[in-house]
Structure 1
């Protein structure tokens, strides 16, 4: 369950999954639960779960296989990513967060307008 601590939900989920991987609860080669299952488990949206899994991919802890799922990486040491790759990933994450914030603002605005308008 994502807690209201001020820390973004996707980081909380990534932290929890990372601990499960490093603690052995998710063994090398084991599949992660599906995005839908993780969303239900953490009571979070699919986009938040996808961002969390993306962080673990960028860290080299998990690897995706098209059509099969996402699996815990089998080798012990995750590959080092060049700083330029990390910088582009940070930009991508910031863009995703900005887009989500804009979408949320539009939804909130629409809800506020619908409450003001008599039916």
Structure 2
């Protein structure tokens, strides 16, 4: 149960990281708002569509892992770009550990 709570927190941090980076991109204020709101919304949409336990589109586990890795990698890179180097590595390590525990403990159904 604690691992699933960690999962939820990691998902929230992922969205926050994308949004924080978007609002701090060195562009005009309009593009900052578009990136700050649009990137996390797009990530949440992709997560809900393919990765979440109640995903709208059933894809094989390999595809879920690839999409999930891409989203977490994007958040990692956004944290790095924001100057949060140590936080980025802790976040990435917890995300990998969390996914490993989910797979080992079979906390996620595997679609064919």
Pairwise same-fold verdict (TM > 0.5): no
TM-score under structure 2 normalisation?
0.35
Richer in helix (by share): 2
Using CA pairs under 8 Å that are at least 6 residues apart, name the structure with larger relative contact order, 1 or 2. Answer: 2
Rg larger in structure: 1
Richer in strand (by share): 1
TM-score under structure 1 normalisation?
0.34
